[in-house]
Structure 1
C-alpha cells in the first residue's frame, strides 16, 4: 500500500512538471495579449557559407533566423548573380536551405539577394537587406554600378525594373541573351549592382514583365547604353529612362466581315493608310484605335469580292504593301438592318471655354459620306444667324474630323454652334440630328502666360500637361525657349521633347541599332498658374 502511494505521488509530480513545461513552451510561441506589437524584422543568426566567405565550394546554401519565419514568392524575390542553374528549396520553421544541382564556378563572386522573400510568422515583418555574398576564390569582387531608372514619357520613378550587365560580345542582343549580373530597382527607382568583377560589359534596363530575364520589345519598356561596352575597373553611376521600343513588323492579325463593314486588325499601330480598290466605286475607309482599318460598304455590290492594295505606314515610319481580299457578308433572313443616328463629339466639350487661337472640331466615329455646309451655322447673342464660307472648313484625310477655323468664328464672348437635322450623312445611310452647343470664350484677363523651356537652340516640342495622368492641354513647336499664352489657370507639368529628326513628333528608339528614343525633359517642379499672371524663366536643366 505504501509503495502504491509512493508511485501515485511520483506520477502526480511528473504530470505537474510536464504540464508546466508544456504551458511555458506554449507561452513562448506568441506575445501575451495586450503586450507590445512585434515590429522587429527577422535577423540572420547563422549561414552556410558565412557572409563574405572565400574559397567556398559547397552545394548547400543555408540561412538560420532568430525567430520562426515564412518564405514567400522565392522564385520572384530571390535574385542570384551570376546564375547558378537549378536548385532545390527546403523550408524550415526558422530558416531555409538551397541545394544546388551543379557545382559553383571557379574564381566567381556570388550574390544571393532575398529581397522581400522572408517574413516573421507573428506579424509578417519583412526581413531587411538579407543578402549573402561569397566567393569561390580567395578574393571577393567589389566593383559597383548604381543609379536610377525613370519612365521617359512620365518622368516617374520606375520600380521592379531589371537592370542587367552582359559580358561584351560583338553579336550580343538583349532580346536573346540573359544578363550575367542583374538586379531590380526598388520603389524609389534606384538600383545597385554590387560585387562585380572587372571587365567589359554591355548594360540595359527593361521591365521583364514575364520574369524570364530576356527583353521582349513588343511589351517591355527599355533603355540601354549606346557605347559598345563599359570597361569596368572603378565604381560607376548609370541612369536610365525606359520607354517602349516595339520593333515587331506590321502584320495582319484578323479580318471580320459584316453586311456594312470589313474590319482589318493589325499587330501594331498604323500611322498612315492609302488604299486602292478594284471596284470603280471607291468605298470610304478609316484608321480606328490606331491599329485597325475599317472599310464601309456604302453602295457597293456586296456579292462582289473586293480586292484592295493597301499602302500602310506603321508607327515608326516603316512602309508596307498588303494585298487584301474581302467580301461583305449578306444579311441573314431573320437578321434586320438597324438604324442609329450618326453621332459625333465637339471640341471644346460642353462647359469648356476657348481662347482666340482655338478652332472648333467635329469628330465623327466614321467617315462622312456627304454634308451640307449651310446646315452648320452660328447663332449670336444678338440673334444673328451666321453661316460659313467654304474656306472656313477643313476635313482630314479620312473625312471623319471637320475643323471650323478659328479665324472665321465670331469674336463675341459667347455664341452657339448649331447643326440642322441631316447636316451630315454617314456611309450607312445614318445622319446627324439637330444639335446646339453654347461656346464661351475665356477672357484673356482670366488666363496667364508660361515661358521658359530649353535655352540651347534646337528643335523642340513643348507640352503643358495636366493632372497625374499627364493629359496634354497645350502644345507648341519651337527652335528655342517656349511661350504659352492664353493658358487657363491650373497646375501644369512642362515637358520638352527633343525633336531630333524634325518630324514634329516623338519617335521611339531601336535597341537593335542601339539608337535611343528621342530625349524627353521636364521642368523640375509643378507649375501653378493663376489668372492674369506671367510665369517666366522656367528653365529646364539638361543632364
Structure 2
C-alpha cells in the first residue's frame, strides 16, 4: 500500500514538473513574439497628444534632411494624411507621411528651395489612438536658410451667394501678380480652410503678393476648370508683423466677507505682448463664374401631348419650339426656369410616336451680344411613361392640404393650354354654418394659357368650394374638364407668426433683403429698404434665414463675379442663425451688419 502511494506521488510530481516546463516555454514564446501596443483600460483620456522630441528639431536652420521624425507621448492614428497634411511652399512631389507607433515620419521626396522657410501643417490629421483626441493645427517649421520667416496673414472664406463659411478651400499667395499666374503656377504659399472657413498662412517672406482662393476640383492647385469656384480681392498685399499689446479683463478675489462668507470680486486688467499682422483679417467671397454657354441639355416627350426641353441655364430670352412646317408648340407654365414645357399643337400630332422640331433660344456670342441659336430635336414618346389620361383636362392648384395661404390668390395650373372658359359654369361658394352661398369673383388666364388666376378677397377662417360644371373649360384639343370641385379654407391670423428685425449698421441704398424658408424658397423681399426696422407678417410656423445683398448693377437679383474681368461678386450678408417662427407669436431679432 505504501509503495503504491509513493509511486502515485512520484507520478504526480513528474506531471506537474512537465506542466511547469510547458508554461515556462509558452511564456518565453509569447514574450519573444510580443509587439508594442497601445495600452487599454484606465480613465478616459481627454488630452491631445504631446510632442516629446523631433528630429531635426523644430525651427531648424540650414535644413538639409530628407526625413523628419516627430515622437509623441502616446500612440497615434493618422486621419486622411494625404489630403490633410500640407507643406507651404508646395512641392512638386507631395511628402510621404506615415506612422510608426508613437512617431510621425515625413519623407521629403523633392528638392527644397534655398533660403526658404517651410511650414508643414498637419491640420487635424494627428489624433491619439484610444480616444481620437485631435492635435489640431499642429505645425512643423524649418528653414533652408539662416532665418525663419515669421510674417503671416489670416482670414475667412465664405460662399459669395449664401454668406456661409466654406471648408477645404485652397487659399494661396503668389509673388507673380499678373492675372494668368493662377492658371500657370502653384501658389508660393498656401493654406486650406477649416470647418469655419478660416485660414492662416504662416512663415511668409517679406514681399508683395496676390491672394487667390480656389475650390481646386482638379486637385492640381491650378485654376483651369470653368466650374471651379474662386475668390479674390482687387488689390495686392504687402504683409508685415509688429508687436502689439493685448488687453484682457479678469475677475480676482478682492475680499471674503467675515460676516456672510460671500466672496467679493474686482476687475483687473492684464496685458501681454503679441505679434500682429499689418494686414487685417481678410474676407474672401467664393463664387462660381458664369462661363457656361447656353445649350440644350435634354429634350424629351414624357407624355403624348407634352414636350420637355431642359437647358443648362435659365434662358436669356423667349424660347420657341416649332415643327418643320413652322407650327408653334404652345409653351405652358413650368416651375423651373431652365426646364421648359411645351404642349403639342394639335390632337393629330399627339397620335404620332415621334415628332421632329426646331428649338430657337438666345445665346451670347464672343462679344457677349445676344444672338439666337437653332437646334433640331427629336421628341419620342417615352413608352414606359405613357398615361391613359393624356387627353383628359385636369389641374393642380396652390391649395396645400386643403389650405390656401392668407392673402394669396387661388391659382389653378392646367395640364393643357386652355382654349375657352364658360364662367357661367364655374361657381365659387362660401360655406357658412353648413350653408353654401355663391359669391362673385374675377379670373383670368396667364400668357401661357395654362394658369387660371382667381381674384377674390378670401376671408380668414372661412371655408370655400370652387365647382366646375360640365363643359366649363375646354383645351386646345377640344377636350373638356370633367365636373370637379376644389374645397379649401383660409387660415386665421392666429395660425401665422410675425418677425420684427432691428438692423444695426449702415444699409447701402441699393441693398436687397430676402427671407428664405427651410426649403430655400424666397418668401419675402424688400428692395432698397431705408428703414433700420423691418416687420414681416403672415409667416407660416417653421425655420427661416435672412440674407442681404448689395445690388451693384440694379437688376434686383444677385450676380456672381468674374476673375479675369476683375468683377467681384455682389456682397452678401446673412443673419448667422436659423430664425424660428411660431404661430400667434411675435419674434424679434437684432441683426448686426458689421
1:46 aligns to 2:58 (yes or no): no
Does the 8 A contact of 1:48 with 1:63 survive in 2? yes
Match of 2:78 among 59, 71, 76: 71
Shift of 1:241: 3.3
1:273 aligns with 2:318: yes
Query: Aligned pair in 2 of structure 1 residues 527, 59: CA closer, same or farther (>3 Å)?
Result: closer
1:6 alignment partner in structure 2: none
**Partner in structure 2 of residue 4 of structure 1:** none
**Local SS of the residue matching 2:238:** strand
Partners of 1:455 and 1:539 within 8 A in 2? no
Q: Given the superposition, is the C-alpha separation of residues 447 and 240 from structure 1 closer, same or farther in structure 2, using an over 3 Å criterion?
A: same
Q: 1:420 aligns with which of 461, 465, 468?
A: 468
- Contact conserved, 1:217 with 1:248, CA < 8 A, in 2? no
Q: 1:173 to 1:319 in 2, by over 3 A?
A: farther
Q: Distance in 1 between matches of 2:480 and 2:229?
A: 43
Query: In 1, Cα distance between the equivalents of 2:91 and 2:128?
Result: 27
Between the aligned partners of 1:509 and 1:165, the Cα distance in structure 2 is 20
Counterpart secondary structure, 1:200: coil
Match of 2:252 in 1: none
Task: Give distance in 2, aligned partners of 1:471 and 1:307.
Answer: 33
Work out which of the two has the higher radius of gyration on C-alpha atoms and give 1 or 2.
2
How many Å apart are 1:185 and its aligned residue? Answer: 1.8
Aligned to 1:5: none
What do residues 104-155 of structure 1 show as CA deviations (whole Å, max 9, x unaligned)?
A: 0112111111223334444444433332111111111111111223334444
8 Å Cα contact 1:167/1:200 also seen in 2? yes
Q: How far does residue 88 in structure 1 lie from its aligned partner after superposition?
A: 6.2
Q: 1:329-340 maps to which residues of 2 (within 5 A)?
A: 329=380, 338-340=388-390
Task: Could you tell me which runs of 5 or more consecutive residues in structure 1 were left unpaired when the two chains were aligned.
Answer: 1-8
Q: Distance in 2 between matches of 1:93 and 1:101?
A: 19
Q: Counterpart of 1:381 in 2: which secondary structure?
A: strand
Q: Classify 1:373/1:449 alpha carbon distance in 2 versus 1 (closer, same or farther; 3 Å).
A: farther
Deviation at 1:197, TM superposition (A): 1.6
Deviation at residue 379 of structure 1 after TM alignment: 1.1
- Alignment of 1:384 onto 2:432: no
State the Cα RMSD in Å: 4.1
Would the alpha carbon gap of residues 493 and 16 (structure 1) be closer, same or farther in structure 2, given more than 3 Å must change? Answer: same
Q: 1:179 aligns with which of 156, 173, 187?
A: 187
Tell me, yes or no, if structure 1 residue 208 matches structure 2 residue 208: no
Q: 2:173 aligns with which of 161, 165, 169?
A: 165
- TM-aligned CA deviation for residue 56 of structure 1: 1.0
CA contact (8 A) 1:353 1:442 kept: no
- Give the distance between the partners of 2:120 and 2:523, measured in 1 at CA: 47
Q: Give the whole-Å Cα distance in 2 for the aligned partners of 1:466 and 1:154.
A: 14
Q: CA offset at residue 531 of structure 1?
A: 7.0
Which residue number in structure 1 is paired with residue 454 of structure 2?
404
SS at the partner of 1:461?
Answer: strand
CA distance in 2, matches of 1:495, 1:86: 43
Q: Is the 8 A contact 1:376 1:388 kept in 2?
A: no
The match for 1:480 is 530
Partner Cα separation in structure 1 for residue 184 and residue 44 of structure 2 = 49
2:319 is paired with a residue whose SS is strand
Distance change in 2, residues 1:214/1:41 (3 Å) = same
Q: How far 1:283 moved relative to its partner?
A: 1.0
Match of 2:417 in 1: 368
Structure 1 residue 81, shift from structure 2 partner: 1.1
Partner of 1:238: 282
CA offset digits 1:325-384 (Å, max 9, x no partner): 23444899x99773255564433523545344x3233345x5624352625542113523
Contact 2:460 2:493 (C-alpha < 8 Å) held by counterparts:
no
1:183 CA drift (Å): 1.4
For the structure 1 residues 67 and 493, does the alpha-carbon distance in structure 2 shift closer, same or farther, using more than 3 Å as the test?
A: closer
Closer, same or farther: CA 122–307 of 1 in aligned 2, 3 Å: closer
Match of 1:498 in 2: 550
Q: Deviations over 1:62-119 (max 9, x none)?
A: 3334444343422201111111111563735233444333320112111111223334
TM score, norm. by length of structure 1:
0.79
What is the DSSP-based 3-state SS (H/G/I as helix, E as strand, rest coil) of the residue aligned with 1:138? coil
| 1:248 maps to which of 292, 308, 317 | 292
Q: Does 1:349 align with 2:400?
A: yes
Answer yes or no: is 1:290 the counterpart of 2:337.
yes
Q: CA deviation at 1:462?
A: 2.2
Instruction: Determine the C-alpha separation between the residues in 2 that align with 1:217 and 1:424.
Output: 52
Cα distance, 1:243 vs structure 2:
3.7
Indicate the larger mover: 51-60 or 318-327.
318-327
After superposition, the Cα gap between the structure-2 partners of 1:178 and 1:21, relative to the gap in structure 1 and judged at 3 Å, is same
Match for residue 436 of structure 1? 486
Aligned length: 519
Is the contact made by 1:393 and 1:402 (CA closer than 8 Å) also made in structure 2? yes
